[in-house]
Structure 1
């Protein structure tokens, strides 16, 4: 039995980690090509745009993961019609939210760019990237929704293939649009947007071959389903928004400390970290279908085994990532520091070596928030995501940057994730005590009845 669970665990996790890494390369590839085409100012402009990208991704994941979680539980309980209504509700919600984002892009992209820190030297590039991403928001959101449902419909291989296809097409399109065509920041953003369409095209195979167990049904919708989907996916949304909040806070603080070169340095650290984060999100989203399915079937011991495998894998991955970063710092900086700026190299080196210690804790926090949401403990999952997203890290970066400058900025991420992990351990211990008390109380009540 345990071998079977372990086999399923590695299948879902490995495929999803590969897929998520592919998705994360969208931004990393943009960083590389922009550094070559536009230099440090282009990298700074990209960094100012990333929060908007994270918001769009977060909304897609909230609807997709939340809906797919409920879908998986309903399917395990043989409630097929309700499962189809959940999918249909997700598609409707995605289209409505996408329309609002397109409107924001069309009428408020310049305002957003200046609000997020872009100055006269970076405003035009930031606006170009941001406007393009927002106008293609429907494809980003629908792609995330369909990927989540295909994965939960026992087809993790296709969801991985879709994510990797999007990533590879982004590499090719980035080069073509930025260099032969000379489209600059617009070309980088447009390539990322077209990659979403490629991914959706690959996912369509699930429907063409009629392997899908879900379909769109015409239903007026259920308000309780909408709130349920949003609550179950809220931790995934906050995990993405946390990246956005950290980007905004760090950009503004670093801009004040080191100017645009400092922001460009943070761009290297942050964009490499997106790949690292994607691995932990990959583990979390990979086990979500298993946790939701076994939870729906009432197999709670199996759920706990899946959690143990996840946490152990997270710690191993974090250690490997840090070792890779520590021993290859100069090579990583050389790839993105196209102008060979000594100041960018100096700031980035200390940033990589300090910042990435935080992933020893961040992986645990990401997995626990997804785990709790997958078991319908939406409030607890949301709390963990919110704490690590902005409640703790934003005050820390403002405080520590004043005390230790850039060292304080990098250390704030490590300290914030460590504090959240300690709170997670406390929450888990408290919940276990409550469960033990409830069991003792139930047993005593049964004895009294029998007596």
Structure 2
């Protein structure tokens, strides 16, 4: 079926992708809500200390899934079916390698890792429990991310969305059952989270059972170029998630010095709402990716740019709506996670929500541009944007603004960083466009 470059096609892919991406983001949000009720502020702090490892695992899955599935779409549009099968096979090889690493980390290093992340005597046991089981479930998270990307790029965005949403809803239900009726505490929370991708994968198997898949395992030796293609194209997706984890570690360290465990718990509320927000922007960008990659592979660059315009417009509209909702409901959002009614937690979190999410319009543009560059195999500008918003700009800003303005500076870090990255992204896009136009004039 030939794809059409119209708004209806854009909405079909992005709407389903956003719903599915929201489902994945709710893994941690559901944990945050139920842990805050069942384990109090210390449980919320423990979760926030452990969550960076989820970013690393999810980022690894997205790197492999987005990288391989993007190349798969390009191969499909060029009628290179064997190469599409080879890239899928190599994605599974990478999944095995990274899964072994994370499982080994859980089996042999969860306690020292929990201490290194900042857990103290009050939170060490809960942090270790969450980390240990999170790492053991890493293979399920990684495979789920890969299968979701391939099924979506193989013409079944609806099934991909259904799998993600049902996986997320099962997490919410299991969280409640394990934490309250079964009184399993924080172990119940991570058990529910770990079972969710397994449920999602079981639904995705329908793509194979109904024989709709056009990708298969391909026998043969490991070929380094295919591994490199996957990692190069998918790297920005890893950086987006990895940076979130590293930034959370740095923020936790700075906040512990400024406001203690209550400050970390307040940041945990904001950070977990941010998971949902980032999921919306990522869902829009990932939904467009199969379209931009297919048009690019077919040599229809104008249609790829049209999809980019739709994506940026949708992100900006969503950012305005989301900021209005977050500001309007900031007291209620905080109260939902403040089961022990700490006044200091309420005040810090409300202020944080209103300042932190000034970053929304810039965040949407940056995520969209980064994934757009990756989807048309322009790795360098994609890397630059991902690294700037993930490491190069945000880490110096964190120490500078925290030292200058304390907790207010903490909340300002993201808006300032995302704004600067957006300006850089606009420059890179214009430079890339001008380069293409010069090249086309030479060959006219």
Pairwise TM-score range, normalised by the shorter structure: over 0.9
| Aligned partner of residue 405 in structure 1, secondary structure | helix
Q: Which residue in the other structure is 2:311 paired with?
A: 310
Could you tell me whether the CA contact under 8 Å between 1:294 and 1:303 is conserved in 2?
Answer: yes
Q: Which residue in the other structure is 1:50 paired with?
A: 51
Aligned positions of 1:165-244 closer than 5 A: 165-244=166-245
**Alpha-carbon separation, structure 2, partners of 1:218 and 1:160:** 30
Question: How many angstroms does 1:238 deviate by?
Answer: 0.5
Higher mean displacement: 425-434 or 189-198: 425-434
Question: How many angstroms does 1:168 deviate by?
Answer: 0.7
**Alpha-carbon separation, structure 1, partners of 2:112 and 2:415:** 32
**Alpha-carbon separation, structure 2, partners of 1:226 and 1:149:** 16
After superposition, the C-alpha distances for 1:48-72 in whole angstroms (9 at most, x for unaligned) are 0110000000000000000000100
Aligned positions of 1:292-307 closer than 5 A: 292-307=293-308
After superposition, the C-alpha distances for 1:96-151 in whole angstroms (9 at most, x for unaligned) are 21011100100011111111111111111011001001001110000000000000
Aligned positions of 1:261-300 closer than 5 A: 261-300=262-301
The change in CA–CA distance for 1:3 and 1:234 in structure 2 (over 3 A counts) is closer
The change in CA–CA distance for 1:2 and 1:178 in structure 2 (over 3 A counts) is closer
Could you tell me whether the CA contact under 8 Å between 2:3 and 2:291 is conserved in 1?
Answer: no
Q: Which residue in the other structure is 1:401 paired with?
A: 402
Q: Which residue in the other structure is 1:447 paired with?
A: none
Question: How many angstroms does 1:437 deviate by?
Answer: 3.2
Could you tell me whether the CA contact under 8 Å between 1:250 and 1:397 is conserved in 2?
Answer: yes
Could you tell me whether the CA contact under 8 Å between 1:85 and 1:221 is conserved in 2?
Answer: no
Could you tell me whether the CA contact under 8 Å between 2:359 and 2:415 is conserved in 1?
Answer: yes
Q: Which residue in the other structure is 2:158 paired with?
A: 157
Question: How many angstroms does 1:2 deviate by?
Answer: 11
Q: Which residue in the other structure is 2:33 paired with?
A: 32
When the two chains are superposed, the root-mean-square deviation of aligned CA atoms in Å is 1.2
After superposition, the C-alpha distances for 1:26-68 in whole angstroms (9 at most, x for unaligned) are 1110000000011111000000011000000000000000000
Structure 2 residue 103 is the aligned partner of structure 1 residue 102: yes
The change in CA–CA distance for 1:2 and 1:291 in structure 2 (over 3 A counts) is closer
Question: How many angstroms does 1:216 deviate by?
Answer: 1.5
After superposition, the C-alpha distances for 1:160-185 in whole angstroms (9 at most, x for unaligned) are 00000110110111111111221111
Task: Give the gaps of 5 or more residues in structure 1.
Answer: 444-451
**Alpha-carbon separation, structure 1, partners of 2:426 and 2:328:** 31
Task: Give the gaps of 5 or more residues in structure 2.
Answer: none
Question: How many angstroms does 1:407 deviate by?
Answer: 0.6
The change in CA–CA distance for 1:439 and 1:368 in structure 2 (over 3 A counts) is same
Q: Which residue in the other structure is 1:137 paired with?
A: 138
